Amino acid sequence: MISLPVRRFLTRTLKISSVALSLLLGLTASAKKEEPMPSGPAVFTGSSAAGLAGTKRVAITSVLVSFQVSTSHRTDTNGILANKSDTEAKMVWPTVDNAELGAITDEIYAQLQADLAAHGFEVVPQATVLASPAYQKITKLAGFKNFSKYGNMEGDVMLVEASSLTPYVPFSLEVGTFPYPFKGVIKGWSSKDSGGLTANSTYYTADLPKLEVELAKELNAHVVKATYLVMLGSAKAGTEGRMFRAGTAHSGSSVTNTHTAKIFPQVGIRATHTRIAFRTPTGNPKGQTTSRAKPVPAKDGDVVVTLAQPLLGATDLFSFTSYSEGKGVWGIAPGADMKFTFTATLTDPKAYHDEVVAMVKAAQKDLLALVKQ
């Protein structure tokens, strides 16, 4: 669990009460359910600390932060003909400042180096890692441009790597289904920017685990990859439909649908998909395998420590504008599809920066406590 001082720091007082926000946006707060995880702030994923016994040296090759910039929820009445209608609620943050996200990620990278050293590891100098032939093979095979627009099962993300490293993601079979862009919700947001990450490209990096083991052997160090998912909040849609029949058999019937949308903006570090992975010199060059049927924790290393409980922070760092649009369907099956969109603007960049870094620092403390040398 989070210590009381950290919890007090991470939980901020609302500048606008949830009731006022509901009145302003015409909605009420709602939180999305987290996937069930074991007790404890962090857990091993299919591994143990024994796998790190060979050396205390570590070489950091990736500090990748996924900043969630949209999330959505859709529901329908599941009715038939006239009373079938659906509703979608979207919360989007399309105007992210790449420079600010980069500064946050660079600070996280520096903190990771310090934390690894404090936990008894010898951190290989960055220049040595970058000059390694094996590292250069890794970036040639799997690297993509920084600030890459991508997606996951909750919506859209901006992928940001430490500025001195080349971003890359694990081979697809090691990470389950969560990281893939099944439902982008920002119009015009694309995973196919020139040089950016695409879902297809992750299927052609099967040699990545082998190259990471090669790098680990070359440097006599565990290859370290740190992955963080910074949450935006949650959205909830609701639809209720009722059919009314007129008094006579010849006057037909009508349907009334009620559409609702709720959001709860909250900065946080997501559990299950926030992790630190170690690829060891004696590791499996074929990599690990995860389920391809559900969003399970990743196994992108021989030793992987995963955040088991989310860290939740401020709820007052964004302001919102909102609009809704409906599409009528006439004839035999009258009804409407209703979409609510809430567009976020970051109102306090410094507070956002400080909040994310503080939460990642708390997460790293929990993660590295499991592998302390």
What is the mean pLDDT, run by run of 10 residues, along the chain of 373 residues? Answer: 37 32 35 47 95 96 98 75 73 96 98 97 98 98 94 93 97 90 77 75 93 98 98 91 54 67 96 97 94 87 97 96 75 59 97 98 97 89
Amino acid at the residue 246: A
Place of tokens 């949209």: 70
Strands (E), the chain: 42-44, 57-68, 70-76, 86-92, 122-123, 148-152, 155-161, 222-245, 253-269, 275-279, 303-307, 311-312, 318-329, 335-346
**Residues for the chain: how many in total?**
373
φ, ψ of residue 111 to 5 degrees: the values are -65, -40
Beta pairing, strands 335-346 & 155-161 = unpaired
φ, ψ of residue 210 to 5 degrees: the values are -60, -40
Measure Cα distances from 302 to 207, 220, 287 in Å: 15, 15, 8
Report pLDDT for 152. 92
Distant-in-sequence, close-in-space partners of 311: CB < 8 Å, separation ≥ 6: 2, 10, 268, 269, 359, 362, 363
Q: 41: part of which helix (H) or strand (E)?
A: none
81 vs 98: CA distance, rounded Å: 47
Tokens representing residue 164 in the block: 């001195």
Tokens representing residue 295 in the block: 């969003």
Report pLDDT for 247. 52
Report pLDDT for 47. 95
- Whether the CB-CB separation of 257 and 241 falls below 8 Å is answered with yes
Half-sphere CA count of 270, side-chain side, radius 13 A: 26
Report pLDDT for 246. 52
Report pLDDT for 215. 98
82 vs 52: CA distance, rounded Å: 62
Residue 367, helix vs strand vs coil: helix
- Whether the CB-CB separation of 155 and 185 falls below 8 Å is answered with yes
Q: DSSP of 286-332, one letter per residue?
A: T-----SSS-PPP--SSEEEEE-S-EE--S-SEEEEEEEEEEEE-SS
Report pLDDT for 27. 35
- Whether the CB-CB separation of 370 and 120 falls below 8 Å is answered with no
Amino acid at the residue 105: T
pTM for this structure? Answer: 0.84
Report pLDDT for 334. 42
87 vs 64: CA distance, rounded Å: 34
Which one-letter DSSP state was computed for residue 28? -
359 vs 99: CA distance, rounded Å: 20
Half-sphere CA count of 23, side-chain side, radius 13 A: 4
317 vs 66: CA distance, rounded Å: 18
276 vs 299: CA distance, rounded Å: 10
Number of helices and strands (H, E) in the chain?
Answer: 7, 14
Report pLDDT for 32. 38
